[in-house]
Amino acid sequence: MRHAPKRTTIHEVLRIAMDLEKRTMALYTAFVSQHATEPELQKFWLTMARHEAGHFGALALVESMIQNDPKLEVRRKVWFDEVTVVRLRSLLGAYLREAQRPVTVERALEMAIDLESSELEDVVVDLMQVVKDTVWREQAMQFLIHDLGDLSYMVEKFTRDPKLLRRADDLLDRRVKALRSRKERRSEAAELDVR
């Protein structure tokens, strides 16, 4: 089946993204109790879950800002590519079912890498362009970006899987590069504003 970008309301996109953040949080929370014997790991999962809660909160904040902005109605339509969402939703569904029983540390870390590698973050950050107020937008975006520095460390410490470690490092690399190019684009835009 071929997916094409479709037009959806901003409100609807925010709702979809919030649901995905909440379910990712639920998965990481399950790992908090499953890996309780390793305090360092348990703390890591708790931090991951808290990050997802933060992403959810940032989206809720954007939603209410848009609702209060007379220039930006929530029913305004934007182009939205559903492929990422469909893929992530089915992945999350399968992982949440799998995590109903205890999963190994390796498997849990692998799931986290799979989920964090999906491009939902990019989709959501792109969507933030609808927020015209720069200060607000910057703040929401900061909350939405997941700091994954500890993920590589945990993979290195708790698994001996070189493939998994490479994936974690690549993911981190991609994130750093994406952040850098976003910053560059922003300062270019700011320069254009000044001119």
Contact (CB, 8 A) for 18 and 56: yes
Q: How many CA atoms lie within 13 A of 136 on its CB side?
A: 15
Q: How many residues bind Fe ion (CB under 5 A)?
A: 4
Cβ proximity to Fe ion: between 76 and 153 the closer is 153
Contacting Fe ion within 119-148 (CB under 5 A): 146
**Region near Fe ion per CB under 5 A, out of 17-25, 36-44, 126-134, 164-172:** 17-25
Contact (CB, 8 A) for 11 and 75: yes
CB of 186 to Fe ion, least distance (A): 21
CB of 193 to Fe ion, least distance (A): 30
Cβ proximity to Fe ion: between 83 and 189 the closer is 83
Phi and psi at 194, nearest 5°, equal -70, -40
Q: Which of 27, 29, 44, 55 binds Fe ion (CB under 5 A)?
A: 55
Contact (CB, 8 A) for 52 and 25: yes
CB of 115 to Fe ion, least distance (A): 7
The verdict on 23 binding Fe ion (CB under 5 A) reads no
Cβ proximity to Fe ion: between 72 and 128 the closer is 128
Q: Which of 52, 124, 130, 154 binds Fe ion (CB under 5 A)?
A: 52
Distances (CA, A) of 186 to 40, 54, 59, 69, 137: 37, 23, 21, 23, 11
Which stretches of the chain bind Fe ion, using CB under 5 A? Answer: 21, 52, 55, 146
